[in-house]
Amino acid sequence: MGKMSVKEELIKRLKEAVVSGDPEEVSKIARKIIEAGIDPLEAVEKALVAGVLELGDMWVRGEAFIADVVAAADAMKAGLSILKNDIAKKGKSVKYLGRIVIGTVEGDIHDIGKSIVATLWEASGFEVIDLGVDVSPQRFVEAIKSYNPDVVGMSALLTTSMLKQKETIEAIKQAGLRDKVKIVIGGAPTTEEWAREIGADGWAPDAFSAVGLVKRLLGIKG
Amino acid sequence: MARPRIEVLDKNEVLEIHWRTLSVLSRVGVKVDHAEALKLLHSIGAEVDFNRKIAKIPEHIVKEALAKTPSSIRLYHRDGKQFIELMRWSTYFDVGSAGLYYIDWRTGEVRRALTRDLAEVARVTNALPNIHLMSTALVPSDVPDIIADRWRMYVDLKNCTKPIDTGAFTLEGIPDAVKIMASILGEDNVSKKPIMMFAACPSSPLMWSDLTTQNLMDCAKYRVPVHIVSAPQTSATSPATIAGTNVQVNAEILAGLVIAQFTRPGTPVIYGVSPTVFDQRYGTACLGSIEVGLMCATFTQLARFYGIPSAGYIMVSDAKTADSQASLESAFGALIAVLSGTNIAIGAGMLLEENGISLVKLVIDNDIAGLALRFGRGVLVDVETLAEKIIEEVGPGGLFLKYKHSREWWRKEHFLPTLLDKKTTDMWKKSGSKDLTTVAKEYVEKILKEHVVEPLPPDIEKALDNTMLEIAKRYGIEKLPQV
């Protein structure tokens, strides 16, 4: 084996910076990658996305903590914002696996779980539109109309607000949009049974499972 | 940092117990069933009745003995490099000692312990980060009784690198143990870098038997750490009251201390207790009772008052199997030990009226010890931990997770138990809905399958084997179990 090429070297370092959750280092290397004329799409896939996914695997194995994953995803975003410009300049665009709208349901202002899921979906190659917290059924319906997403995700941390997930699905049905989207739910009090009961398409017990869940629902391999 | 501490007695109460003890020693005295020790006590000014074998020890002798006693002890790992330091408020956890029965983790069967069972306990202990000492936990029944005490040390040394809490139940026990230690770290290091401590137990009330006095004096002669362990039963072999038991047990321990220090000044002594509550409903001596916690805490205070390292049997449970009682009694004990600053908290893995070792309990106790030690570390308060800067940066409604401060301090601030379940209900169900006992059993199996104990250097191992063989040969024992 010969010496590592400049490209391989930079992509390797970019991935390492993502894994260690260092946004400054990621930005620095991302600029170098542009200067070196390396294909930015390849850098996104092989370093940014791969780095976050590697950390996800480490979390599953108990070798990393959630804060490490979130930091990696944050570092990934820093890199993406720089590389995106270069991708656009070259007349290309980032190819997303799909578009997801996410929010915490009405009456619930819990942000953490929803944000982690959103971050991991982004990190796995989805385009995510985060509606924030305390999102009414009507706002979910409007978001489906204006963004035309493949998936809608609803989070609830309270047993009381959990009921809003049901109400939101009803509202989506009444608006005649139910067949246009897959609906997934999550949050501490929710269960697989609850998801079935309210007519959601899927449920995940934790953020990483949520990645696999939407991939399955959209028929994406890996 | 204000370390969390408990002191059950106030200063005046400690003094009162001390004065009453001196009074008991000089007026009532102790029975010492050992001619040489009696002569020694007589020679230094004790009032000795050689017929009744009673020695009344005056106050000034006790004070002199206390002045000769070291205030800290280092116990070494068998590599002669790592050590634990018994002093101040530090607490180290130790496996329960000298059980006759092994509670087999595979089957739950309770049976007489074998050499291979003790080897299992030693290997598992070697892998547990919060259990710092290995005791000669079991008395193997597959070797003749006459060498079982030394055989236990040998089995421990072959399977665990940590310091060893042991004792002799033969007159030759201590001199032979010294030979065993010499084969590991050399003769010069036997007392310089002791890798074992030896129990010598007075018999409550107020007696020192022939054998234990001999063991005590042998430890002094070789200047190896002697762990005096008094084991009263409240209302049976000591007063029903805790303060009364404090006085009597203190007298027993100080009498031993006098014998040790006048045999050889500077003998390292550990002030140890195994107090029990005599449960008059069943005639049982109970170690898991909450009053045992009070007694360990108060004896620890007395030891600290004298400036002597302390030890207590505080993690033994009265449960017969590794159930909820086993965990809750040991959890109280561990926390009490850490908060009181008992230097050695003994009893991890022990059940069954102080007579059985359960590896399931031992690995759970490892988590319990970790929790107690974490509590004992208290709360660090400084500019960085107060985190005002980060609170400002994150602001209302923000999320702390992605910040370096969170990543760094989450690790530093929290103890992560190995076995206790912290998963979501769903994850727990998916991983088999296992209770703690099941998880613990699987962990034992994993350790025994995967953990490798650092081997002894070949020349040292050979020297150790030869020492043990010579001891066995002296008794005409040729066939020994595989270790």
Is there a contact between B55 and B32 (Cβ–Cβ < 8 Å)? Answer: yes
* Contact partners, residue B342, CB within 8 Å, separation at least 6: B91, B296, B297, B300, B310, B311, B312, B314, B336
Cα–Cα distance, B198 to B104 (Å, whole number): 27
Q: Cβ–Cβ of B402/A205 closer than 8 Å? A: no
A166 pLDDT band, cuts 50/70/90, is very high
Q: Between the CA atoms of A164, A150, A19 and A8, what dihedral angle is there, to the nearest 10 degrees? A: 180
Q: What is the mean pLDDT of residues B128-147?
A: 97
- By CB atoms closer than 10 A (0-12, 13-18, 19+), residue B379 is exposed
The distance of B403 to chain A (nearest Cα, Å) reads 7
Position B425 pLDDT exceeds 90: no
ipTM confidence score: 0.72
A3 pLDDT band, cuts 50/70/90, is low
Tokens 């939407």 correspond to A214
Residue-level pLDDT at B191: 96
Position A2 pLDDT exceeds 60: no
3-class secondary-structure state, position B471 = helix
Q: What DSSP letter does each residue of A180-222 carry, written as one string?
A: GSEEEEE-TT--HHHHHHTT-SEE-SSHHHHHHHHHHHTT---
Tokens 């956890």 correspond to B93
Q: Cβ–Cβ of A65/B430 closer than 8 Å? A: no
Residue-level pLDDT at A70: 84
Per-residue pLDDT tens digits for A83-117? 988 998 888 888 889 999 999 999 988 888 898 89
- Asked whether the whole model's pTM tops 0.95, one would answer no
Q: Considering only CA atoms, which of A169, A129, A124, A121 is closest in space to residue A148?
A: A129
Q: What is the mean pLDDT of residues A185-198?
A: 93
Cα–Cα distance, B133 to B369 (Å, whole number): 12
Interface with B, mutate which of A65, A111, A133 (most B CBs under 10 A): A65
Q: Cβ–Cβ of A71/B401 closer than 8 Å? A: yes
Task: Kindly list the residues from chain A whose CB atom is less than 8 angstroms away from the CB atom of residue B427.
Answer: 205-206
**Angle, CA A60 vertex, CA A54 and CA A61 arms, to 5°:** 90
Position B263 pLDDT exceeds 90: yes
Cα–Cα distance, B462 to B458 (Å, whole number): 6
* Closest chain A CA to residue B397: A111
A205 pLDDT band, cuts 50/70/90, is confident
Per-residue pLDDT tens digits for A30-82? 999 999 999 999 999 899 989 988 888 888 788 888 888 889 988 998 999 99
On whether any CB of chain A is under 8 Å from the CB of B401, the answer is yes
Residue-level pLDDT at A208: 80
Q: Which residue type is seen at B417?
A: P
Residue-level pLDDT at A24: 95
Cα–Cα distance, B195 to B134 (Å, whole number): 11
Residue-level pLDDT at B129: 98
Please name the residues between 416 and 455 in chain B that touch chain A, using a CB distance below 8 Å.
424, 426-427, 430
Per-residue pLDDT tens digits for B281-290? 999 999 999 9
Residue-level pLDDT at A1: 45
- By CB atoms closer than 10 A (0-12, 13-18, 19+), residue B397 is exposed
